Structure 1
Amino acid sequence: MKTKKNTEPTVSIIIPFHNEDECQLSIALSSINSQIGIDFNEVEIILVGDGGKRLTNPADFNLFNNLTIRYKYFTNSGGAGVARQRGMQLAKGRYYMFVDADDEFYYDGALLEFFNAVSKGDHEVVVAKYIEQGRNADGSYFYLHNEPIWSAAYAKWFNRDYVKRMGLHWLDDVRIFEDVYFCSMAIELSSDVVWLNSFVYSWLYNPKSTVRDPALKFNIQLDQWAKMNKYYLRKIREKAPQKLAFDFGNSVSTLFYWKKKNPGYDAAALNREQQLMLKENSDLWDSTQGIMQQQLQVLHKPGTEFENYDISDFSEYLAHSKALMNN
C-alpha cells in the first residue's frame, strides 16, 4: 500500500464484505490499482468487514502499491447497507463510491471518467453505465450492456456534502432493497446529476450474492420492499413534497405488478408493512387515483417488463389496499 500524502482525497471507494477473503477482494482491488490517468493520492479505499470472516493477512494488499487502503472490521453484521454507512462515517473523500467485494471496474480508464466529470466543479451525483455478467444453464457466461439505473449502488459517485445536506443514509433495518432507497433517493432529490455515456463497472456473476442466491429469496421479500418504500415516501414528503403524489401513486401501481411477478411472498408480512405505508400517506389516496390508473397503463405498455400480466383485477387490488389503509 502506498504512503498517504496529507491531502483530502477526491473519492472514497467503500467496499463492504462479509465472508470474502483476501483472494476475492484482490479482484476488486486489482481493478482499482490498475486505473490509469489519475492521481492515486486522490483515492482512498475503505474495506468494511461486516461480521463474518476477518481478514487474516491484510498486509497481502501491499501488493497494490498505488492504493491507500483502510480496513475496519465490525463484529455485528448489519448487511451491505449498514456496512456502506459505516464506511461513509470513516471516509475523508469529497465523493463516496461503492464497489461490491465480488465486482470490479470494467476497464482501466473507469475512474478517469468520473474525475473528468468533476474536474471543473462539483456535482451532486455522477452516474455511469455497467456491464452485467450472467450465466447460462450450460455454465457459460453472457454479458448485458445495461443503461444506468437509479436503484443500484454501483457505477456512481455521491457528493459527500450533498448527502449530508439531504440527510441521506443507508437504512439500518432494511437488508434487502437498501440500495433502492439510498441511490434512488439521492438521484430523485438532486438537481445536479451528471449521466456518463460510458461503461465503467462490471457486476460479476456470483451465485451466492443477495440477488442471485435462491436461498435468500430476494424477489419474494415484498414486505421489505414495502418497508423501504415507506421510508422513501417519508423522505420525499420532507424534502420534495411536490413529487409525493406521483411517487405514492406509482408505488401502489408498481406493487400490483410485483405481487404478480413474484408469487410466494409472505402475504401477512407484506400486508403489515404495506398497511403502515398506506396509513402514513392516507391523505393522498383519493387525489392519486388517476395517477395509479395512469401508471398501471404505463407499466403495461408493449416492451415493458409487465406487458403480459393480467390487469383485470386491479380494482380488486385497490379495494384490498384501501381496506388495509382504513383498518
Structure 2
Amino acid sequence: MTDLNKKFSFIIPIYNTGIDIVEKCICSILGQKINNFEIILVNDGSSDKVIDDFCKDLESTESGLIYIYQENQGSAVARNKGLDMATGDYIFFVDADDTLVEESFQKYLNLSEEVEITCFDYLITDGQNSTNYSLNRKMDLSNHKNRLYANIMYKPGVLDDFAFGAIWGKCFSRQFLEKNNIRFRPELRKTQDRIFMLEAFLHSSNILYLPIPFYNYHVNPNSITHVKNFRMLDYCERLINCFNDLVEQYPELKKDSKYFTYNIFQEMLLLTYLNKYSDFSSKIYVSEITKIYKRFKLDEGLREISYQDFNNSGEKIKLFLYKNRFFRVLKYYYSRVK
C-alpha cells in the first residue's frame, strides 16, 4: 500500500456473544501491526448486561475503540451504524465470534495497492480442524465481474466456490462505499451479505484478490440444525424480493439468478421442515412445502436448472428430488448427510 498512514476501521456487531469470544476477536485485531486504526463495537441489544459493561470498560481503557449500544434491530442496522461512525480510509467487517489470522495485516500492507475492494484467503474452523480456502495467486478481478456475480449467486464451480458472497475477509474503501451509497438493507435482519456484495461488485471497477490467509471463520457445529427456525420463510421472502429488485435494475444478473433462488430455498427448507430434528408428520411438512412451492413458483425456477450444471453427484440427486417433489426422500437424505 502506498500510504502506510491510511486509517482502518473494524466494525464488529455483537449480539449475545460471550465475553471470552468477543475478547479473542478484539485481541486478534489489536495483535496486528497497524499504526492507525479504530475498532467499532456495536451491541445490537444483547440481553446480557455483562457484555455491555465489558465493552464500556474496554472503551475507557483502549484508545481507538468505540462502543455503541442500540436496541435490537439486526446486524444490518448495527453494521450501518458502524459505517456511519467510521472515520477510516478502509473498512473491515468482522463477526464477533471470528478472528483475524496472526500477522496477516502486515503481509497485506506489504502486498496491497489502493483499490476499492480487496478479497483475502480465509480459514474455516470448527474448533478442531481448520481448512484454508485459497485461489493461490494474486488476481485482478475487475475484468471477471460476471464470474463474481455467478459465484455470489451460487452457480456451481465458479471461482472454485470461493466465498465472495461473504462480507468477512474483505477490505472496502470507505470513500467507495460512501460515493455509491452502499449499505446493508435494514429489512434483511439476516442473510444480507450476498446482496451487499453484489451491490459492491456491481459498482466497483477496481477489485483485487490477495492469496493471504487473513480471516478465521469459526463454525459452531451445534448451532445450525438443532433449532427449527420458521422465521426463515419471512427472511427468505425479503431476501428474494431485494434480489429480484437488483436483477431488474441490473439485467446482467438475470442469467444466473435461478441458482440464487434455488439455494436460498434449500437453506430455508432445511432450517424448517427438512432437517432431521423436525418432528412434523410427513403429511404436515409435505403439505407446507407444497404451499411454499406454489407461493414462490419454485417449479418454474427448478425447470431452468440442469443436472449438467453440477459435477457433484450428491447435488444432482438433491436437484432430482426437489424437481420431483420427493420431500420425504429429501428429509431422509438430509438426515443421512447433515
Same fold (TM over 0.5): yes
Ranges in structure 2 where 5+ consecutive residues have no aligned partner: 135-161, 275-287, 327-338
Go from structure 1 to structure 2 and tell me whether the alpha carbon gap of 1:261 and 1:146 turns closer, same or farther (over 3 Å shift). farther
Using the size of structure 2 for normalisation, the TM-score is: 0.69
Ranges in structure 1 where 5+ consecutive residues have no aligned partner: 1-7, 136-140, 279-284, 318-327
Structure 1 counterpart SS, 2:312: coil
Residue 177 of structure 2 aligns with which residue?
A: 163
C-alpha distance in structure 2 between counterparts of 1:253 and 1:51, whole Å: 33
C-alpha distance in structure 2 between counterparts of 1:314 and 1:302, whole Å: 17
Q: Which has the higher contact order (CA 8 A, sep 6+)?
A: 2
Structure 1 counterpart SS, 2:92: strand
Tell me if the contact between 1:150 and 1:187 (Cα under 8 Å) persists in the aligned partners.
Answer: no
Residue 296 of structure 2 aligns with which residue?
A: 274
Structure 1 position 311, deviation (Å):
2.3
Tell me if the contact between 1:129 and 1:155 (Cα under 8 Å) persists in the aligned partners.
Answer: yes
Go from structure 1 to structure 2 and tell me whether the alpha carbon gap of 1:260 and 1:81 turns closer, same or farther (over 3 Å shift). closer
How do 1:24-43 and structure 2 match up within 5 A?
24-36=21-33, 38-39=34-35, 41=36, 43=37
How do 1:91-170 and structure 2 match up within 5 A?
91-107=86-102, 109-116=103-110, 118=112, 120-121=113-114, 123-134=115-126, 141-147=128-134, 148-170=162-184
Structure 1 position 315, deviation (Å):
8.1
Q: Deviations over 1:199-245 (max 9, x none)?
A: 11111244676xx3632639x9255234213212313433x33x132
Tell me if the contact between 2:232 and 2:268 (Cα under 8 Å) persists in the aligned partners.
Answer: no
C-alpha distance in structure 1 between counterparts of 2:11 and 2:295, whole Å: 31
C-alpha distance in structure 1 between counterparts of 2:74 and 2:20, whole Å: 21
C-alpha distance in structure 1 between counterparts of 2:295 and 2:8, whole Å: 36
Residue 43 of structure 2 aligns with which residue?
A: 49
Q: How many residues align?
A: 280
Identity of aligned residues (%): 21
Go from structure 1 to structure 2 and tell me whether the alpha carbon gap of 1:184 and 1:222 turns closer, same or farther (over 3 Å shift). farther
How do 1:1-327 and structure 2 match up within 5 A?
10-20=7-17, 22-36=19-33, 38-39=34-35, 41=36, 43-52=37-46, 53-54=48-49, 55-58=52-55, 60-61=57-58, 68-74=64-70, 76-107=71-102, 109-116=103-110, 118=112, 120-121=113-114, 123-134=115-126, 141-147=128-134, 148-206=162-220, 212=224, 214-215=226-227, 217=229, 221-238=232-249, 240-241=250-251, 243-254=252-263, 264=273, 267=289, 270=292, 274=296, 293=304, 295-302=305-312, 306-311=315-320, 314=323
Tell me if the contact between 1:133 and 1:143 (Cα under 8 Å) persists in the aligned partners.
Answer: yes
